[in-house]
Amino acid sequence: MDFFEAVHTRRSIKHYDKNAQMPESSFQQMMQAVMLSPTSYNIQHWRFVRVTDRQLRQQLQQAAWGQSQVGDASELIILCADIAAWQKNPERYWAESDEETRNILLPMINDFYAGKEQIQRDEAMRSCGMAAQTLMLAAKSLAYDSCPMVGFDVDDVASLINLPQGHVIAMMVAIGKAIEPAHKRSGQLPASQIIMENTF
């Protein structure tokens, strides 16, 4: 599917064919694209929890206040991030770069994040947001629909997936085959209201 067609036709779908399955090859192709999403300093601090256990899906659906897409979609991905990934062996993020580049970047990453908890968390959320968009567009390109979700009890979900200390949950994304179309778009703001040139 053409990129712009994927952008125009991607919608947040709530109702899925519970019998539809995504081939493993398609899942891997989709996730390989997601793993190319940008992150600051190439930290790659996203962590993706693919939920395949049916009982866990049911528990997560309860934590999401009964929303059917959690249980019925072909795939359910919980996008999380390791907030402290910036300081965990950061050399690995530039393992294939030359030594000069590594010597420049390693002090920079420490100066940028050390002691700045809000920036660390903001960066984790930004990275997950970019990865989620890649995920949904990759799914659409493979003829699957998706639904990004923040409508769930974060503490319950964290407990159910054994979220490690120092990690944060950004969102869930349900992916599958729609059985009902999305509602008509409710109204896009005109470009004149949201695109400024140089200043507000």
Summarize pLDDT for 72-122 with one digit per residue, the tens: 999 999 999 999 999 999 999 999 999 999 999 999 999 999 999 999 999
pLDDT-derived band at 12 (thresholds 50, 70, 90) equals very high
Encode pLDDT of 15-55 as tens digits: 999 999 999 999 999 999 999 999 999 999 999 999 999 99
pLDDT at 87: 95
pLDDT at 19: 97
pLDDT at 185: 87
User: Which pTM does this prediction carry?
Assistant: 0.94
Contacts of 155 by beta carbon, 8 Å cutoff, 6+ apart: none
H helices present in 10-64, as ranges: 24-34, 54-63
pLDDT at 184: 87
130-157 mean pLDDT: 98
pLDDT at 197 over 90: yes
Q: What are phi and psi for residue 18, nearest 5 degrees?
A: -70, -15
pLDDT at 183: 87
Give Cα separations from 42 to 56, 94, 123, 188 (angstroms): 32, 8, 11, 33
Encode pLDDT of 146-190 as tens digits: 999 999 999 999 999 999 999 999 999 999 999 998 888 888 999
**Rounded Cα gap, residues 47 and 61, in angstroms:** 20
CATH of domain 3-194: 3.40.109.10
pLDDT at 1: 87
Give Cα separations from 80 to 19, 25, 104, 156 (angstroms): 27, 23, 28, 14
